[in-house]
Structure 1
Amino acid sequence: MHLNHDTDAPAADPISFDDFLRVDIRIGTIVEAAPFPEARKPAFKLKIDFGPTIGVKKSSAQIVERYMLEELVGRQVAAVVNFPPRQIGKFLSEVLTLGFADAEGAVILFAPDRSVPNGSRLF
């Protein structure tokens, strides 16, 4: 998936509220972070706990420019949990971890400013 870092881009075409509700964005806690040296673009392999209903899911995240592995475990992040899994090399990414580009184009993770239960859904 190509990330658009263009802050001057116009807003996307309007969608219905029902369309928005079809995208299932949940909060989870990173329980494991590992290097992903075989990725084409620098990335980490994450395991994220989304609570008892969704469970622990894997994600590849291109966040190596602003984060070190040691600081990721225990951090809450937002992710889309209902996209089909995506094969990235030999790694199966099950959720899309969400972030925004900073002024230099590096990805900054999207997370709540206070702790919320794993599995909480964005609304």
Structure 2
Amino acid sequence: MHMNHDADAPIAPQIAFDQFLAVDIRVGTIVEAETFPEARKPAYKLTIDFGPVIGTKRSSAQITEHYALEDLAGMQVAAVVNFPPRQIGPMMSEVLTLGMPDAEGKVVLIQPSKPVPNGGRLF
């Protein structure tokens, strides 16, 4: 499933509201970030706390251009939490951390504009 991330990509086909609701996007706080030397493209391994119901999940994120490893812990991010886990090299990525492309196509993380409780769902 290759997505076109360009700013000039056409709008996706219309969907029903139920389809939007099927995608469970939650906020979590990065508790640990590690290098991921085995990844094909430069990436970090993130451990993200989504609060008491969902708990801590792992994610691989190609965010090395804009984010230094030491700056990530404590940062809130948004992620899809209800995709099946995906094997990425030696790690199992359990959630998809969400980002937007900058002018060069490098990933900028999606974050709430103010601190919110971990586990809160996007609506």
What TM-score does the superposition give when structure 1 sets the normalisation length? 0.97
Which residue of the partner structure matches residue 28 of structure 1?
28
Q: Spell out structure 1 runs of 4+ moving beyond 3 A.
A: none
Instruction: For residue 45 of structure 2, give the secondary structure of its aligned residue in structure 1.
Output: strand
After TM superposition, list the pairs within 5 Å mapping 1:1-123 onto structure 2.
2-123=2-123
User: Partners in 1 of 2:57 and 2:4 — Cα distance?
Assistant: 25
* Unpaired segments ≥5 residues, structure 1: none
Instruction: For residue 79 of structure 1, give the secondary structure of its aligned residue in structure 2.
Output: strand
User: Partners in 2 of 1:3 and 1:64 — Cα distance?
Assistant: 20
What TM-score does the superposition give when structure 2 sets the normalisation length? 0.97
User: Partners in 1 of 2:117 and 2:93 — Cα distance?
Assistant: 23
User: Partners in 2 of 1:104 and 1:3 — Cα distance?
Assistant: 16
| Alignment coverage as a number of residue pairs | 123
| Partner deviation per Cα, 1:34-63 (whole Å, 9 max, x = no partner) | 000110010000000000000000000000
User: Partners in 1 of 2:99 and 2:29 — Cα distance?
Assistant: 15
RMSD across aligned positions (CA): 0.9
The Cα of 1:99 is off from its aligned counterpart by 0.1
User: Partners in 2 of 1:4 and 1:33 — Cα distance?
Assistant: 27
Which stretch shows the higher mean deviation, 2-11 or 65-74? 2-11
| Partner deviation per Cα, 1:16-41 (whole Å, 9 max, x = no partner) | 00000000000000000000011001
